[in-house]
Amino acid sequence: MSSNPRLSLGPNLFYWSRDDIFDFYAEVAEMPVDIVYLGETVCSKRRSLRTEDWFDLADRLSSAGKEVVLSTLSLLEAESEMLTLRRLCENDRFMVEANDMGAVQLLIKQGVPFVTGPTVNIYNPATLQVLANKGLKRWVLPIELSKETLAEMQAERPEGVETEIFAFGRMPLTLSARCFTARSHNLPKDDCQYKCLDYPDGRLLSTQEKKPFLALNGIQTVSSLTCNLLPETAEMKRLDVDVLRISPQSQHTGRIVEAFHQALQDEPTSSLDRYVPLGTCDGYWHGGAGMEKLKG
């Protein structure tokens, strides 16, 4: 039987101001999370922090006792993005979360252990084994896979590879060349005027029946509902999950972390419903459609 799962804070998916980011991570230093993922994973035009700033922040959180992992951009298009990617992958202090196979390749060439994020497609044990042979230390289960698939993956998991689950947050569903936030303001991507800054948890997209559906986050689209697997912590322990990931939101992240921390100590927790922007879901975990709420 393995030890109690640890808690991680995923990379912030949204675009916040420099001050807001520093304030947020100052609080994170005090939160009961073991692992902190840092970096811009969505859009290279977001430059509240430069790469050096991310390294400084990594040092600070590392000094505060956190395991720091640097996260890479998920959709690589321009050569300038490849340069930044190389800088991250060649750093010799922090482990890197690869969010694309280009990053995986660079990390293999470095000969260093690495993490894969939810947008690296690991759907079966054969894939997990190939990457484990190349230095994979930890992988995040792709968002759309269920606990049943997880159980089968865990049964054949290579020695020394840890499993992380996206346990809380608006789910990243897709990426595009097009910036949908800019489009919603009738602006082209090349003149986006950094509109994402106005939507710290994404810009709501609703159906014509006024039902909230998705949230636009620049070139990324996330769910309007928040995935909440707090009621599933016992099941995750049973499945030998090593790390539970909480994805940052602009408000109440500390309370959410606190609740997961309590749940992992088998302490009673209260509902997180009042801390999310627009309701929760758990469909993927239970083998249904992602937006469904099947338990909890």
Partner 1 sequence: MELVCPAGNLPSLKAAVDNGADAVYIGLRDDTNARHFPGLNFNEKRATDGIVYARRKGVRVFLAINTYPRPDGWERWQAAVDTAARLGVDALICADIGVLDYASNRWPDLNLHLSVQASSTNYEALRFYQENFGIKRAVLPRVLSLSQVKNVVENSPVGIEIFGFGSLCVMVEGRCILSSYVTGESPNTCGACSPAKFVTYKETPQGMESRLGDVLTDRYGKNERAGYPTICKGRFEVGENTFYAIEEPTSLNTLELLPELQTAGIEAIKIEGRQRSPAYVAQVTRVWRQAIDACKQNPDRFSARAEWNRELDKVSEGATTTLGPYYRPWQ
Instruction: Using CB under 8 A, list all residues that contact partner 1.
Output: 74-79, 82, 85, 100-106, 108, 119, 121-127, 129-131, 143-145, 149, 152-153, 156, 171, 173-180, 183-184, 188-190, 203-211, 213-214, 216, 221, 223, 283-284, 287-292
- Of 60 and 86, which CB lies nearer to partner 1 in the complex structure? 86
Considering the complex, what minimum distance in angstroms separates the CB of residue 130 from partner 1?
Answer: 5
Q: How far is CA 71 from CA 49, 100, 137, 247, in A?
A: 14, 10, 14, 13
Question: What's the closest the beta carbon of residue 142 comes to partner 1, in angstroms?
Answer: 8
Contact 115/139 with Cβ under 8 angstroms?
yes
Sheet (strand 136-140) strand order: 136-140, 114-116, 95-98, 67-71, 35-38, 6-9, 243-246
Question: Nearest approach, Cβ of 223 to partner 1 (angstroms)?
Answer: 6
The residue among 274, 276, 296 whose CA lies nearest residue 285 is: 296
Query: Which C-beta is closer to partner 1: that of 152 or that of 235?
Result: 152
In the complex with partner 1, the residue whose CB is nearer, 48 or 146, is: 146
Residue 280's beta-bridge partner residues?
Answer: 226
For partner 1, the closer CB: 7 or 43 = 43
Residue whose CB is less far from partner 1, 103 or 230? 103
Minimum Å distance from CB 69 to partner 1?
20
Tokens read off for 78: 């321009």
Supply the minimum distance, in Å, between the C-beta of residue 31 and partner 1.
Answer: 29
Q: Which of 110, 229, 101, 122 is nearest to 165 (CA)?
A: 229
User: Can you give the length of the chain in residues?
Assistant: 296
